[in-house]
């Protein structure tokens, strides 16, 4: 069955964009390559819904990859941006909004003794890794297979076999000398990590980890894993970088790594803290962060860093992140996960595993529990593609890739989910139909 979405205008825009933008998009996942078809072009968004250029309405379960925690175009954030824009777009010089947002962040996340704003999560992690190397005087970085930390050269590596020395670049154009400084371990595998430290301990500058993995579906840490990681790293003189670009201020008002047992020296943020504007931030222990210029020898800079509009949107977002927002997010997340699991059972789609942490939900057409990249990659992508298109045709926008996370926003209410039930049922029927 060929999907009826997107409509004719989206298709026409897709063709036009493809003649000037690489692949028609500015970030590969938006192209629908992994689910087939051509992307939906959006005209506007309000609250829980997006409207495409053909006038079709979709329940938004992508939330701009997690950034739109309060839904689309929250009135208070839009008003703050309007007020700020009237005063000037950019100064390339300090403005009070920067330290005001920094103060708000630190009050909620005390691990950020000192921080710096940049313009994307990629930049934040890339810069934090440089700081870790500058501070320790060591070169190697440990990451986990299936963990994504932006597209900087050294972090585009994953384990071919889980053996550190066999790191392979995920992207053409990344010299093997650079990726050779990246060691890839397996998430939720403390023994593997211990073996890696036995071999490479003295040269490891930093271990980079998502406290809840959100780039291989949703994979929570097993009890004790993050504690062991912290102990191993610190025992060997390496730093720990909690990449909270997704989880920070999404799972709670602040960072989440402490409550999961991770003892971090550096933390990265992005997405939610920019209120829908381009942002990244890295920070951590004062002694570590004060190696950054102008106080120290680690250079990092940005023409538009701390951009007034991002700072204003971030401030307005933080002002609205009350305990009741997180209660709503948790309730909605739980209701969505329960509905999806029930429908998969009713439609006898097996294997299927939904894994949820708060407002993050991973949908795997695989047997669970999924604990690492191997489990996630066992998910049947052809099934996900059929599921995705049927759900889309029924007015629900899911991530156009099987290994991405579904993000709910606080704008989604019970009636929105109830209306989405038919879409998910159609999705599971389509997912099942490909198998005899």
Ligand X SMILES: Cc1ncc(COP(=O)(O)O)c(C=O)c1O
x-or-dash string of contact with ligand X, 275-314, rule CB under 6 A: -----x----------------------------------
Residue closer to ligand X, measured from CB, 216 or 349: 216
Residue closer to ligand X, measured from CB, 37 or 280: 280
Q: Which parts of 128-167 interact with ligand X (CB under 6 A)?
A: 148-150
- CA-to-CA distance for 198 and 236, rounded, in angstroms? 9
Look-up of token digits 């920019």: 274
Q: Which parts of 385-424 interact with ligand X (CB under 6 A)?
A: none
User: Known catalytic residue: 243?
Assistant: yes
Residue closer to ligand X, measured from CB, 50 or 126: 126
Pick one of 157, 246, 281, 391: the residue that binds ligand X (CB under 6 A).
246
| 148, 187, 282, 326: the active-site residue | 148
Pick one of 52, 210, 265, 380: the residue that binds ligand X (CB under 6 A).
210
x-or-dash string of contact with ligand X, 349-388, rule CB under 6 A: ----------------------------------------
Residue closer to ligand X, measured from CB, 17 or 273: 273
CB of 58 to ligand X, least distance (A): 21
C-alpha 259: how far from chain center = 19
Q: Looking at beta carbons, which pairs linking 88-97 to residues 24 or more positions away fall under 8 Å?
A: 88/308, 89/308, 89/309, 90/304, 90/307, 90/308, 91/308, 92/303, 92/304, 94/306, 95/306, 95/308, 95/311, 97/306, 97/308, 97/311, 97/312, 97/315
End-to-end CA distance of the chain: 16
Residue closest to ligand X, measured at CB: 121
Q: Which stretch binds ligand X (CB under 6 A): 118-126, 175-183, 259-267, 355-363?
A: 118-126
CB of 137 to ligand X, least distance (A): 25
* 271 phi and psi angles, rounded to 5 deg: 45, -100
Q: Is 271 helix (H, G, I), strand (E, B) or coil?
A: helix
How many Cα atoms occupy the beta-carbon half-sphere of 37 within 13 Å?
25
Complete edge-to-edge strand list for the sheet that includes strand 280-284: 114-118, 280-284, 266-270, 239-243, 204-209, 140-144, 182-185
- CA-to-CA distance for 381 and 373, rounded, in angstroms? 14
| 189, 243, 265, 372: the active-site residue | 243
Report the interface residues with ligand X, using CB under 6 A.
Answer: 65, 120-122, 125, 148-150, 210, 214-215, 243, 245-246, 270, 280
**Which residues are catalytically annotated?**
148, 243, 271
């Amino acid at each position: 069955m060929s999907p009826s979405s997107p409509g004719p205008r989206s298709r026409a825009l897709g063709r036009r964009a493809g003649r000037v933008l690489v692949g028609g998009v500015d970030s590969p996942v938006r192209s629908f390559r992994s689910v087939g078809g051509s992307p939906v072009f959006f005209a506007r968004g309000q609250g829980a819904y997006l409207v495409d250029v053909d006038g079709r309405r979709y329940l938004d379960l992508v939330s701009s990859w997690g950034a739109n925690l309060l839904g689309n175009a929250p009135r208070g954030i839009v008003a703050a941006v309007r007020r700020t824009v009237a005063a000037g777009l950019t100064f390339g010089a300090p403005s009070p909004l920067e330290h005001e947002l920094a103060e708000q962040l630190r009050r909620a996340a005390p691990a950020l003794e000192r921080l710096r704003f940049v313009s994307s999560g990629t930049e934040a992690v890339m810069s934090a890794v440089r700081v870790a190397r500058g501070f320790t005087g060591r070169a190697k970085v440990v990451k986990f297979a299936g963990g994504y930390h932006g597209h900087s050269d050294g972090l585009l590596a994953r384990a071919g076999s889980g053996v550190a020395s066999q790191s392979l670049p995920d992207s053409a154009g990344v010299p093997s000398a650079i990726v050779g400084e990246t060691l890839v371990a397996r998430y939720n595998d403390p023994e593997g990590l211990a073996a890696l430290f036995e071999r490479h301990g003295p040269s490891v500058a930093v271990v980079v980890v998502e406290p809840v993995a959100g780039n291989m579906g949703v994979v929570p840490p097993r009890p004790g894993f993050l504690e062991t990681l912290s102990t191993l790293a610190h025992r060997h003189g390496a730093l720990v970088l909690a990449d909270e670009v997704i989880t920070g201020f999404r799972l709670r008002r602040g960072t989440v790594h402490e409550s999961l047992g991770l003892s971090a020296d550096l933390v990265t943020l992005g997405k939610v803290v920019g209120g829908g504007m381009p942002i990244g931030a890295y920070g951590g222990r004062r002694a570590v962060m004060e190696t950054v210029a102008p106080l120290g020898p680690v250079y990092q800079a940005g023409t538009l860093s701390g951009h007034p509009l991002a700072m204003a949107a971030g401030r307005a977002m933080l002002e609205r992140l009350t305990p009741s927002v997180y209660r709503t997010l948790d309730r909605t997340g739980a209701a969505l996960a329960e509905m999806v699991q029930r429908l998969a059972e009713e439609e006898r789609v097996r294997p299927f595993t939904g894994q949820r942490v708060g407002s993050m939900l991973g949908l795997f057409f695989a047997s669970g529990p999924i604990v690492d990249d191997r489990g996630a990659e066992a998910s049947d992508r052809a099934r996900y593609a059929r599921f995705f298109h049927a759900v889309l045709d029924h007015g629900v926008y899911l991530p156009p890739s099987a290994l991405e996370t579904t993000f709910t926003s606080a704008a989604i209410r019970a009636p929105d989910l109830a209306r989405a039930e038919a879409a998910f049922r159609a999705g599971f029927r389509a997912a099942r139909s490909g198998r005899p």
